[in-house]
Amino acid sequence: MASHWGPFLIDSDGGSVRGVHPHPADPDPSPISGGLAAVTRCRVGRPAIRRSWLEGGPGTATERRGAEPFVEVGWGEALDRVAAELARVRDDLGTDAIYGGSYGWGSSGRFHDPTTQTARFLRLFGGCTVSRGTYSGAAAEVVVPHVLGLTYHEAVAAQTSWSRIAAHTELLVSFGGLRLSNTDVTYGGQGPHLTRTWLGRAAERGMRMVGVAPVDDDLPAGLARRWFPIRPGTDVALMCGLIHTLVTEGRADLTFLRRWCVGWERLWAYLAGSGGEPPRSAEWAASVTGVGAGEIRALARDMAAHRTLVNLTLSIQRADHGEQTWWMGIALAAVLGQIGLPGGGIAFPFGAAGNVGAGQTREPVPGLPVPLLPPGPVIPVARVADMLEHPGQGFHADGGYDLYPDVRLVYWTGGNVFHHHQDLNRLARVWQRPETIVVHEPFWTATARRADIVLPVTTPLERDDLGGAETMLVAMVQAIEPVGEARHDHDVFASLAHRLGFGPAFTEGRTAGEWVRHLYDRYRQANPAAPAFDEFWAAGSVAHPVAPMGGTDQVFLERFRADPEAHPLRTPSGRIELWSATIDGYGYPDCAGHPRWYEPFERLGGAGADRWPLHLVSNQPRWRLHSQYDHGPPSQAAKVAGREPVRINPVDAAARGIATGDVVRLHNERGACLAGAVVSGAVAPGVVELATGAWYDPGPDGTCRHGNPNVLTRDKGTSQLAQGPSAQTCLVEVTRFDGEPPPVQAFDPPELIGR
């Protein structure tokens, strides 16, 4: 079986999972797979329709979403009602009024990926409003093409191989740490986990690491490492201080800045303090970051004296003005002058996904064909609540200006918006506006509970598919029978397409099983040495030819460095753009033509800290993928007092009378949640860490009883350039909860009424 967190073997009795075992080819398997033991729990057993919607029609009592019973109906009635509602909205209001809200991660299978299935269906239907970008990397995805002339995904694929890092890097400075648990996962399918092995080889040769992060164990243990416990959200200020030191001490590579970059003079004028700006010196940076000026200067000298790789993680750009972190980080690497050298320069996002730098080349595996998107509205992915709340309002994004559509029907598959969106209490309010919400879901998640029509669908364990990892193609052989009345997303859409008059166009005359064979045959056409389908299916996988340990030997921007005239970047200048005339031309007050420090809307030592004295870091959990299988054994074992664990520094805990095991309340002006306290020196003073993904469980006053941090985060775009999420900019207070805490009800199904 293949998954986003790696290949594994399933032991089942046809009705349940008896065991999950590591794949023989994986030297460092992820523990996340243990959650699959809960695949039959919390399931949506039959199609279900919210009672008021069923009795009164679209738009009835939408404020009751999440609070009233569902009526279980047969598949025929459910599909008839969904098809009729899609046709009504399209014919009366237009396809712009339909939002296709599928969002990744539902399956690593090449055929049964819910996002692809949904896109194919809705595009053949006539189109819909869609989103662009990801919650993970929205700011980076927009700024990288402007600065480096590569799409974000092109740049990630071209990153320097671990083989070169292990051989050449002397100092790895990682902004945001380098969290090994994040490397368990790769979108679309992770192959054998090799990051820990490569780090070990680099350490054996003497590579040192510096982690600039508010959490110490975001750096791997057992290496030569140093922790810089920076105030969250101030990475740009530290980068400014490092650059200022390098230049004023004569350690900057001015030749590289003049030949391979444009705009250095403008950037330096800002850093030096012209135009009324203060000099962005080490002393200034210390006042913002909490890192000592002497430490900043010493780090700058260390970086200049060694082959240094500057790594930027995704966490630092999921913050207010997150675009600036990656832009200024590229500028820092340019000032060092090592971009394009083996083991030096700029890297991203090591420590955010498992395939980065592993030198593994993903073998193209065909997926379900998706027609071109018909003309229609496209919104930044993190602006869903804005769209629902402000139809007709204008918004800026990457030089464009558009109006939010008037969405009346939301069709959601493959994701849990009440996990990954910010300010969930606000989302719950605006979620009342659409007339109809249709959700495909295996489990009774918070999103399913807040739908009008819930269609039960299978998990990857309940169907055959192809899994494309970097080093192998995996036969995803069905392990258990579909639970309850669950159907494949493809079969659901095929039935709807038949009712709406385009069934043959959607299925092309193939069943789901026939599509899997067809896609493998297409793969074989490009890979003649691959065995016939039946042989592949019996073997369970086929390996792609790769270099030792899966390593290719590449250096990011090596050809550009060797000859920038012969191999220019696809930027307007052909160079690294430390000044972008394009971005400057947009005239955004929150994103100028060169990287710079902008005060975030709140931070430690800045705005809001007098009222909310702790900074919340909401990172990815070690014990599950996002919110998937939160009800499974690994995630449940990590709970404290039945709630998501929150780590707090001993100094902050003592000041509040908090001990490990206490139930605590995190709160700010946006919301509140309960969590289980863990006192730990691994988080910096003034910082608390609460991972994302606890299933949203609001009580009567909106307090999440289970510990979802997104009741606390603000739903604001990073800037008008990318409009990405700014979840990591979040101040809170934490107090011990006295008395009997309310029970967690996140995994209880809604009241179900039969007919």
Q: Is 167 exposed, middle or buried (0-12, 13-18, 19+ CB in 10 A)?
A: middle
Could you check whether the bond before residue 349 is cis, i.e. omega within 30 degrees of 0? Answer: yes
Q: Is 11 exposed, middle or buried (0-12, 13-18, 19+ CB in 10 A)?
A: exposed
The kind and range of the H/E element at 651 are helix 650-655
**In whole angstroms, what is the distance from residue 123 CA to residue 100 CA?**
10
Exposure string of 490-521, with b = 16+ CB inside 10 Å and e = fewer, is bbbbbbbbebbeebeebbeeeebeebbbbbbe
Q: In terms of DSSP bridges, do strands 731-736 and 614-617 run parallel, antiparallel, or are they unpaired?
A: antiparallel
Q: Based on the residue annotation, tell me whether 520 is a catalytic residue of this protein.
A: no
Q: In terms of DSSP bridges, do strands 614-617 and 17-22 run parallel, antiparallel, or are they unpaired?
A: unpaired
DSSP state of 489: H
CB atoms under 10 Å from CB of 523, counted, come to 21
> Is there a contact between 454 and 78 (Cβ–Cβ < 8 Å)?
no
The kind and range of the H/E element at 410 are strand 409-412
**In whole angstroms, what is the distance from residue 236 CA to residue 285 CA?**
9
| 3-state secondary structure labels for all residues of 149-214 | CCCHHHHHHCCCCHHHHHHHCCEEEEECCCCHHHHHCCCCCCCCCCHHHHHHHHHHHCCEEEEECC
Q: Based on the residue annotation, tell me whether 105 is a catalytic residue of this protein.
A: yes
Which phi and psi (to 5°) does residue 365 adopt? -120, 120
CB under 8 Å to 615, separation ≥6 — which residues?
214, 231, 232, 233, 603, 604, 686, 687, 688, 730, 731, 732
Residue closest to 159 by CA, chosen among 352, 422, 19, 316:
352
CB under 8 Å to 332, separation ≥6 — which residues?
239, 242, 243, 310
> Which residue bears the tokens 């009635």?
77
Query: Which residues sit opposite 211 in a β-bridge?
Result: 174, 227
> Is there a contact between 414 and 114 (Cβ–Cβ < 8 Å)?
yes
**In whole angstroms, what is the distance from residue 351 CA to residue 345 CA?**
17
Task: Choose the catalytic residue: 5, 53, 99, 103.
Answer: 103
Q: In terms of DSSP bridges, do strands 171-175 and 687-690 run parallel, antiparallel, or are they unpaired?
A: unpaired
CA-to-CA separations, 646 to 210, 314, 416, 715, in angstroms, rounded: 25, 21, 22, 22
Task: Choose the catalytic residue: 5, 53, 99, 105.
Answer: 105
> Is there a contact between 346 and 313 (Cβ–Cβ < 8 Å)?
no
> Which residue bears the tokens 């039969």?
754
Which residues are designated catalytic? 103, 105
